[in-house]
A and B are shown apart, each in its own frame.
Chain A
Amino acid sequence: MSSASTGTAPSQELVLGFLRKDHIQRYSTLVVLVLMFVIFAATVDRFLQPQNLLNIAQQISILTIVGVGLTFGFAAREMDLSVGFAVGLAGILVPLLLTKDVALPLALLAGVGAGLVIGGINAVLVTIIGIPSLIATLATASILFGISFLLTGGRAIYGGLPEAYLWLGQGRIGGFPVLAMLMLIAVALAWFVMERTVFGRYIYAVGGNRKAAELSGINVRFYRIAALVVCSVFATVAGMLLASRLGSGQPNAGERYLLDGLATVFIGMTMLRPGTSTVVGTFFGALFIGIINNGLNLLGMDTYIQSIVKGIIILTAVAIVSRTTKLNLL
């Protein structure tokens, strides 16, 4: 019916108006981000100190890596609700192996391997058995949660973790956190793959119009599988880094990365290419969440308030995306 109401040919004026509206939409989130930064800078004493800014960078690193993984999933129009517990599982699996004297490279490989397995299982459920990803990954999330607690008996794992491992999450090179560097590498790599390779193009095609992708000769199933696997691998990598940063493996530490990770993607979808998840958009989304968390922390707000604020931000972002584009996740 909307096609009927826009029946007349658009005049020059309308086209210009449309472009303006388009730009407002594309950049409004960035403007809000900058405004927020300025307000915190003006009102919170320690906010602008270099040490705090580096803190923010470190704080958002793990979240960004989870969000970037989700970006691949969303780009192929697959939702992965198991990332939170995938973070948690890797975050205890790797420390557990390390305390059992497994060599560090092997333990890290095991973490990546766990991501491949989790992603592989999700992909089989979604693309071969045909369960919508939203539901399949909700179930695997529950399974991963159970496994994490079985592995540890619900206790945290700490002590005896090698220095080299802890350096990944806590070390600094010339004052700059290693973790933040790893994040930047992950973002750059993911951006390159999504924006500059055939692989990324095909993932976007599968999410953009599955039928058209299929009729263009793209192996839709392969790219859906790939997107889900990348999603889980990024989550387990984030999990290993999380345990390193915390200096211990905690079975429920990953939980909050699901909601926060989704938030980064949704915020990212409001900018650049509205309605489409992009790596850079997700990075800004993580920055958004990081700055709010940090600012509210410094203001002494307790975590409950932060949680409420975050919920409102997610709703706002999703509302913008749903109202302006066709957001179809199931």
Chain B
Amino acid sequence: MIAMDTRLTDITMQFPGTRALDNVSVTFRRDEVHGLIGENGAGKSTLVNVLGGSLQPTSGRIAIADKELKLKSPRDALLRGIAHVSQEGSLVQALSGAGNILLGAEPRTAGVIAQGRLKTEAAALVKRWFPQVSIDLDEPVGSLPMADRKVIEIVRALRGDVRLLILDEPTATLPAREKEQLWAIIRGLPKQGVGVILISHFLSEIKALSDRITVLRDGRHVVTEKAVDLSESQLVDLMLRRSGDTASKAQTEKTRATGDVVLRIAGWKAGRIEVPQFEIRAGEIVGLIGLTGSGHFGFARSLYNPAGVTCTTCEVGGSAVALHKTLTMRDAGVALVPDHRMENALIGEWSLRENLAMVHPQHAVVTTGVLSRRREEAEAQRVMRLMNVKAHSSAQELKTLSGGNKQKISIGKWLYGAQDRYRVMIFIEPTEGVDIGAKAEIYAEMRRLAGQGVGIVIASSDLIEIETMADRVVPFVDQTARPELARPQFSESAFIGAMSGVAA
């Protein structure tokens, strides 16, 4: 069996500004479910992307069955027997289950897809791997239950000669009763010679399914152990940094003076997201946490853009806001620094000055609608100094900046020409892809803003960030806000418990 291992040795993956993987060595076997855990940003996705051929490591070696090789593309990896089923799903919704399973390899008669054989071959594949499963393969997958769709994706991935199957959060989108069904399927695979790499946020799931577990932290390999030798609380300890950050934490331990309520909402419904009650005072920092897709990011966005939201109460700065237009909340004083800054906040080809002036270009207006370069430049310089943006001039193209400096511009947009008009500032993943130095500066800026009486909302999947910054935390489970945690209750395990719906 050893000869059939997939072995990663000293894999390092360097991105501009961050080292996503740092000399990681792991061996995956064909006869095991191998759990891969770590916080967001620990390097799990990067590692499986290297294995799946989507990323080429900066250095390090990959060997399959003791033969060293390079995985140049996802196709290349697939030919070597490594298949990747991503979290989001990659099915063609309008095609039938059979059509999806044999997508790109349809049986043909004289160039025409042979529908009959398509069905029987697809059914045979399902039966070969999962004899206990029955799925309607004629239905368009868009109308099938989520678990069935996942099974179809897995069967398609197993079409070739697969030795290793990467499953990224396979149960994240599944209702509880469908999870069990998928668990049985995953556990059966190693018996048929297909090793599984399982990534999941649910520790209980990792514990229950895995033979061995690898923990990553900050791009480094922490440990690979038999699952039976590790308890869930040990796993949590291994995942989380236990040192550092104490200085910044001490800073927030001081009780911050808080002022009047700057935002109060009740009966907030944004699509499926429900928040019965939420308020934030001037100077407060509130954290929103949740598992992927649990609604904390959606809620944060809906506070800024309330299109389609209904509510019973919505007050900003003490006065009621009617939610009839997308910009009413912004006009009332709510700002949003979104996640994925290059998609949602910035224009790469623009200068820093133009990016900063995007929200309030009016600041530099001299006569009706006409901009003064000089005034714009002066204000851009002020914000760049305030945010300590490292660039040679405000005319530099934004895309040439590092992640941290880009994020500073994304925040600075709301400070440019704003004259303290924002009472609530919402940050989603404020430090994603940001180096440690810039991270500290961004935290300091949030605290400065809070000190000025801005209510700060941070929606983040970085639990250490939440623990460091927040005064209180609202966990989201299944699109709903749950009872909040106050600072004395803070701990990573309390957060994880609250996020997975387990009462602390």
- Partner-B contacts on A (CB < 8 A): 1, 3-9, 196-199, 201-202, 204-205, 208-209, 211-213, 215-219, 273, 275-276, 325
Interface residues of B in 420-474 (CB under 8 A from A): none
Q: Which residues of B contact A8 (CB under 8 A)?
A: 14, 58
**Assuming the A-B contacts A197-B369, A215-B305, are A5 and B361 also in contact, with contact meaning beta carbons closer than 8 angstroms in the complex?**
no
Chain A-chain B contacts (Cβ-Cβ < 8 Å), number: 73
Q: Which residues of A contact B346 (CB under 8 A)?
A: 209, 212
Interface pair B370/A197, CB less than 8 Å apart:
yes
Complex partner residue of B343 from A198, A212, A275, A325, CB under 8 angstroms: A212
Interface pair B358/A197, CB less than 8 Å apart:
no
- Partner-A contacts on B (CB < 8 A): 13-16, 54-56, 58, 304-305, 327, 330, 336, 338, 343-350, 354, 357-359, 361-362, 365, 369-371, 413
CA distance A275 to B348 in the complex (A): 12
CA distance A201 to B370 in the complex (A): 10
**Assuming the A-B contacts A198-B362, A201-B357, are A4 and B345 also in contact, with contact meaning beta carbons closer than 8 angstroms in the complex?**
no
Interface pair B358/A205, CB less than 8 Å apart:
yes
What are 29 A-B contacts with C-beta separation under 8 Å?
A1-B54, A1-B55, A4-B55, A4-B56, A7-B13, A7-B14, A7-B15, A9-B16, A197-B370, A198-B362, A198-B365, A198-B371, A199-B369, A201-B354, A201-B371, A204-B350, A205-B347, A205-B358, A208-B349, A211-B343, A212-B344, A213-B358, A215-B338, A216-B345, A216-B413, A217-B330, A218-B358, A219-B327, A273-B349
Q: Distance (Å) between the CB of B75 and the closest chain A CB? A: 13
Q: Distance (Å) between the CB of B395 and the closest chain A CB? A: 12
Q: Which residues of B contact A212 (CB under 8 A)?
A: 343-347, 358
Q: How would you classify the secondary structure of chain B's contact residues: helix, strand, loop or mixed?
A: loop
**Closest A residue, CB atoms, query B55:** A4
Q: Distance (Å) between the CB of B251 and the closest chain A CB? A: 30
CA distance A217 to B16 in the complex (A): 30
Interface pair A215/B347, CB less than 8 Å apart:
no
CA distance A3 to B433 in the complex (A): 13
Q: Distance (Å) between the CB of B22 and the closest chain A CB? A: 13
CA distance A197 to B349 in the complex (A): 19
Interface pair B362/A216, CB less than 8 Å apart:
no
Q: Which residues of A contact B361 (CB under 8 A)?
A: 198, 201-202
Complex partner residue of A196 from B15, B344, B370, CB under 8 angstroms: B370
Q: Which residues of A contact B13 (CB under 8 A)?
A: 4, 7
Complex partner residue of B344 from A197, A211, A217, CB under 8 angstroms: A211
CA distance A5 to B304 in the complex (A): 37
Q: Which residues of A contact B345 (CB under 8 A)?
A: 212, 215-216
Q: Which residues of A contact B348 (CB under 8 A)?
A: 209
**Closest B residue, CB atoms, query A325:** B349
**Assuming the A-B contacts A208-B347, A211-B344, A217-B327, are A198 and B369 also in contact, with contact meaning beta carbons closer than 8 angstroms in the complex?**
yes
Complex partner residue of B15 from A3, A198, A201, CB under 8 angstroms: A3
Q: Which residues of B contact A198 (CB under 8 A)?
A: 361-362, 365, 369, 371
Interface pair B359/A216, CB less than 8 Å apart:
yes
**Closest B residue, CB atoms, query A205:** B358
Q: Which residues of A contact B56 (CB under 8 A)?
A: 1, 4-5
Interface pair A196/B371, CB less than 8 Å apart:
yes
**Closest A residue, CB atoms, query B355:** A212
Q: Which residues of A contact B349 (CB under 8 A)?
A: 208, 273, 275-276, 325
CA distance A8 to B59 in the complex (A): 12
